[in-house]
A and B are shown apart, each in its own frame.
Chain A
Amino acid sequence: MIPTLNLRTVVGLLLLLALLLLPLYVELTGSRFLLTLFTRIVILALAAVSLNLLLGYGGMMSFGHAAYLGIGGYAVGILAFEGITSGFVQWPVALLVSAFFAFVIGALSLRTRGIYFIMITLAFAQMAYYIVAGLARYGGDDGLTIQKRSQFIAPINLSNKVQFYYICLALLCAAIYLVWRIVNSRFGMAIQGARSNDMRMRAIGFPTYRYQLICFVIAGTLCGLAGALLANHTDFVSPAMMYWTRSGDLIIMVVLGGMGSTFGPLFGAVALLVLEEVLSGITEYWQIILGPLLLLVVLFARGGIDGLLGKARHG
C-alpha cells in the first residue's frame, strides 16, 4: 500500500528528517542539552507509537501503559545491578518480560469494556508499580542507578550520546513503519473494525478477543523496548517511571498528536515535550496552560495536530 503524499505525511517525514540532522545542529551550536532532550523525546515518541496502536487504532483505552516503560527499564536495571550488562541479554529479557505481562494483563482486562477496562488496566499498572517499589534490594522508592549502559559488541557504544540517539531514532522509525504495516494489514483492519463495532466484527467471523490480545502484546512489547532505552538514557530507574500519571502523559501525547494516525504520536511527543521545555523557560507556571489546552483539544480539536494538518483521520 503506497502512502498517500498529503500534508500530514510530508510534515511527518520532514520532522523525521529534522530529527536525523539534529546531532549536526548540536555540534554546530554546542548545545549538548538539545541532544539529551531529543533523545528523551524520541524514546517517549516510541512509547507513544506503541500506545497509539493500542488506543488510536485499537480503541483500547489502557491507562496502565507506563507500566511497560517500567518493566523494560527495570529489566535492564536489575540485570545490570546483578552484573549482567550485556545488551544481548538485557534487551531480549526486557522485551520478553514486557510481552509476558502484556499477555497476562491483556488476557484478563480484555474481558471487560469501557470504564471497567480503563480501571482494570490502571489497577494492573499500579500493581506493577507497587511490586517494583517493594523490592528493597533494587532500591525500592529510592530507585536504582545503572552504572554501565547495555553493552553490545564494538563499535556500538551506548555511552556515546550521538550513537545512542541514532539508535533510538532508528528504532523509532522502525516502530512507526511496523505499526503502519500492521494497521494496513488484514489484522489491522480487523482491529480497527473491532474498535468501531465489536459485535459486527464477531458476527462476520473475526475472533476479536484474540486479535485484540495480540495487539495488546505488541503494544506492550514495543513500550518495553522504549523502557529499556529510557533506562539507558537516564542511567537510572525508579518506580516513578510507571506511576499512573505517567500513563496519563503518554495518553496526552497520543491524543494531542492525533489518535489513529501514522505520525500523530511523533507530533504529540515532540509538541508536548518541546512545549514543556519552552514554556518552563518562560514561566514556571506553564502547566496552567497545558491543562486547559488539553481540555480544548478534547472538546474541539478531536483529531489533534494530525487532524489539524489533514482533513479527516482515517480509520
Chain B
Amino acid sequence: MRKVLLAASAVALLAAGPAVAQNKSIKIGFVSTFSGPVAVIGNDMRNSFELALDHMGRKMGGLPVEVVYEDDTFKPEVGKQKTDKLIESDKVDFIVGYIWSNVLLASMKSAVDAKTFLITSNAGPHQIAGEQCSPFIFSTSWQNDQTPQAMGHYMNQKDVKTAFLIGPNYAAGKDMLGGVASTFKGKIVGQELTKWPDQLDFSAELAKAKAEKPDAIFVFYPGKAGVQFLSQYAQSGLKGQIPLYTAFTIDELSLPLQKDLALGVPGAQQWVNDLPNEANKKFVADYLKKYPGLRPSFYGAQTYDAANLIASAVAATKGNLSDKAAVQKALEKADFKSVRGNFRFNTNHMPIQNFYLQEAVKDADGNFVLKTVATIVEDNQDRFVTQCHMR
C-alpha cells in the first residue's frame, strides 16, 4: 500500500514539474575508447570533434556547446554504463562516437528508450541498418558490410578466382567477412575468425591460408591487430606470393607503424585524406596545423562530419530540441558540408556514399600516406535497408 502511495505521489510530482523549454546550451555525450593501445583511435575522434567545434566557433545554432567524453575501455558493458550515465546523469541532447560494433549494440537500447539521438561515427553493425533501425539512430560512417562489399567488387575487377578470409570474431568481424562474401563472385576457400581482442598471433590462420593456395587473402583487423597482422603476413613469407586485400586494416593511424609493409596493399574506404572537396581540404589542413605530428584518419573524418550534422540540425530547429520529430527531420536532411563531398542518408539513416580504392604510398618527404587510386562504387547503399521498418 505504501509503495502505491509513494508511487502515486511521485507521479503527481512528476506531472507537476516544469514543461521542457528551449535549450540554453547543447550538451553532447561522446563515447569512445581512450585507454589501451586503441586509444589512438579515440583520440583521433576527439581531436576531430574538437576541431569541428573550433570551426563553428564552439556554438551550434547560436548556443554554446558542451561535450562530455566517456571512455568505454573497449568493453561493451562499460560502454553501456557510460551511455546510461550520459543520458541520465549528464542529460545530454545527443550521443556521438562508438568505435566498436559490440559496444554500440550493447548501448543503443538505452539511447532509443530515452529518445536521445545517437550518431555513430564509426560502428555500423547490420542490426542498426536493418531490423533494429530506429528514428533515433544515425550513422555518419557506413554500415559494416558496405566497405568489404566494395572490396569484393574490386576483387572481381582484378579477376580474383579464389579467396581466403580472415577476421576477428566479434560483431564487426562477422559483418566484414559476410560483406565480402556477398559481392565476391569467386570461390571462398576458407574463413577464419580469431579471438578478439586477445589474439594477436595469426601464424596459425596464415599457415592455413597458405595451405589453401588462394588467389588472394581478404583481411579485416582494425587498430593494433592490423599492425601485427601485416608484420606476420610478411614474416610468414606470404608477401609477394599471395596478394592481400583489406578493409579498415590500413589507416592513417596504423600506417606509421606498418610502414613498408603496407605499400601496395589495397584497401577500400569511403574517405581518404586527399578527397578533393573544399570541406575536406580545410579539415585536413587545419588538423595538421592544430595537431602537429598527427594525421587525421577516417575515424576522425566521420566524427568531424557528425559534429557538423548535429550543428545543422540544431540550427534548423533553432535550438528547440524538445521537438524530437523536428530534430529527426532536420538530421535526415543532412544539410551540411561533408568531408566526403555530397552526403545523404538512406531511409534507414545510413549514408549513401562512394567507396574508393586507397593505397599506401611514400610522399615526397618520405612519409607514408594514403592515396585515392580509383572509385570502386558510387552511391552505394547497404544491403539491410529493406529490413528496416522505416521506409
Known A-B contacts A141-B170, A240-B75; the reply to A24 vs B9 at CB < 8 A is yes
Complex contact B76–A142 (CB within 8 A): yes
Instruction: Tell me whether B201 is interfacial, beta carbon within 8 Å.
Output: no
How far, in angstroms, from A33 to B84 measured CA to CA in the complex?
Answer: 9
Contact A235-B6, Cβ < 8 Å, known A28-B13, A36-B84, A142-B102: no
- Contact pattern, B 45-84, Cβ under 8 Å of A = 1, otherwise 0: 0000000000000000000000000000001110011001
Interface residues of A, dominant DSSP:
helix
Say whether A140 faces chain B, with CB atoms less than 8 Å apart. Answer: yes
> Which B residues touch A141, using CB under 8 A?
76, 102, 170, 196
How long is the Cα–Cα vector from A145 to B105 in the complex, in angstroms?
A: 8
Query: B residues 270-295 with Cβ under 8 Å of A?
Result: none
- Measured in the bound complex, the distance between the Cα atoms of B108 and A236 in whole Å is 11
Q: Does A41 contact B (CB under 8 A)?
A: no
Q: Which residues of A contact B80 (CB under 8 A)?
A: 234, 236
Cα–Cα distance between A160 and B3 once the two chains are bound (Å): 13
A162 touches B7 (CB 8 A): yes
Residues of B within 8 A of A162 (CB): 6-7, 10
| Chain A residue at smallest Cβ distance from B16 | A27
> A33 to B88, Cβ gap below 8 A?
yes
A143 to B10, CA, bound (A): 34
User: B residues within 8 A CB of A241?
Assistant: 77
| Complex interface bits, B79-110 against A, C-beta within 8 A gives 1, otherwise 0 | 01100110011000000000000100110011
Name A4-52 residues within 8 Å CB distance of B: 23-24, 26-28, 30-33, 36
Q: Nearest chain-B residue to A281 (Cβ)?
A: B89
How many chain B residues touch A (CB < 8 A): the figure is 26
Q: Cβ of B253: which chain A residues have Cβ within 8 Å of it?
A: none
Return A42 CB to nearest CB of chain B, in Å. Answer: 14
Distance from B88 Cβ to chain A, minimum over Cβ atoms (Å): 4
Chain B hits for A234, CB < 8 A: 77, 80-81
A-chain residues with CB within 8 Å of residue B110 when the two chains form the complex: 235
By a CB distance below 8 angstroms, the chain A residues around B77 are 143, 234, 236, 238, 240-241
A142 to B81, CA, bound (A): 14
List, in ascending order, chain B residues with CB within 8 A of A23's CB: 6-7, 10
Of residues 226 to 253 in A, which have CB atoms within 8 Å of B's CB atoms?
234-236, 238, 240-241
Most buried by B among A36, A145, A240, A241: A145
A27 contacts across to B, CB distance below 8 A: 9-10, 13-14
Kindly supply a per-residue 1/0 record for chain A positions 114-140, scoring 1 wherever the CB is within 8 Å of any chain B CB and 0 otherwise: 000000000000000000000000001
Closest residue of B by beta carbon distance from A167: B3
CB distance from A141 to the nearest CB of B (A): 7
Instruction: Give the interface SS of chain B, mostly helix, strand, loop or mixed.
Output: helix
| Segment 100-153 of B: residues with Cβ below 8 Å from A | 102, 105-106, 109-110
A30 touching B17 by the CB < 8 A rule? yes
Counting CB contacts under 8 A, is B171 at the interface? yes
Give chain A residues whose Cβ lies under 8 Å from the Cβ of B81: 234
User: What's the least CB distance linking A229 to chain B, in Å?
Assistant: 16
Contact A143 B106 (CB under 8 A): yes
List, in ascending order, chain B residues with CB within 8 A of A166's CB: 3, 6-7
A235 touches B89 (CB 8 A): no
In the bound assembly, the distance between CA atoms of A162 and B10 in angstroms comes to 9
Nearest CB in chain A to that of B87: its residue: A33
Contact, CB under 8 Å: B109 / A147:
yes
Q: Which residues in chain B, 184-235, are within 8 Å of chain A measured between CB atoms?
A: 196
Is A196's beta carbon under 8 Å from chain B? Answer: no
The digit string for B169-181, where 1 denotes a CB below 8 A from any CB of A, is 1110000000000
Contacts of A160 in B (CB 8 A): 7
User: Taking CB as reference atom, which chain A residue is nearest B125?
Assistant: A142
Which of B88, B106, B109, B170 is close to A238, meaning CB atoms less than 8 Å apart? B106
Tell me, in angstroms, the Cα distance from A241 to B13 when the chains sit together: 36
Inter-subunit contact B76/A238 (CB<8 Å): yes
Q: Interface digits, A154-187 against B, CB 8 Å rule (1 contact, 0 not)?
A: 0000001011001000000000000000000000
CA distance A105 to B324 in the complex (A): 52
Tell me, rounded to whole Å, the shortest Cβ–Cβ distance linking A78 to chain B: 16
* B93 vs chain A, min Cβ distance (A): 16
CA distance A240 to B79 in the complex (A): 13
Q: Is the CB of A33 within 8 A of B85?
A: yes
Please indicate the chain B residues that have their CB under 8 angstroms from the CB of A33 in the complex: 85, 88-89
Q: Is the CB of A235 within 8 A of B10?
A: no
Take A27-B14, A145-B106 as given contacts and tell me if A36 and B88 are in contact as well, using a CB distance cutoff of 8 Å: yes
Q: Closest A-chain residue to B13, C-beta based?
A: A27
A28 and B9 alpha carbons, distance in the complex (Å): 11
Cβ-defined contact, A142 with B89, below 8 A: no
Closest residue of chain A to B75 (Cβ to Cβ) is: A240
**With A140-B169, A141-B170, A236-B80: A163-B7 Cβ-Cβ less than 8 Å:** yes
Closest chain A residue to B90, Cβ basis: A33
Contacts of B7 in A (CB 8 A): 23, 160, 162-163, 166
A143-B102, A145-B105, A166-B6 provided; 6 other pairs, C-beta below 8 A? Answer: A140-B169, A142-B76, A142-B102, A143-B77, A145-B106, A166-B7
What 6 pairs between A and B have smallest CB-CB spacing? A33-B89, A142-B102, A33-B88, A27-B13, A27-B10, A238-B77
Cβ contacts A to B, 30 pairs, < 8 Å: A23-B7, A23-B10, A24-B6, A24-B9, A24-B10, A26-B10, A30-B17, A31-B89, A32-B88, A33-B85, A33-B88, A33-B89, A36-B88, A141-B170, A142-B102, A142-B105, A142-B106, A143-B76, A143-B77, A145-B109, A147-B109, A166-B6, A234-B81, A235-B109, A236-B76, A236-B77, A236-B80, A238-B77, A240-B75, A240-B76
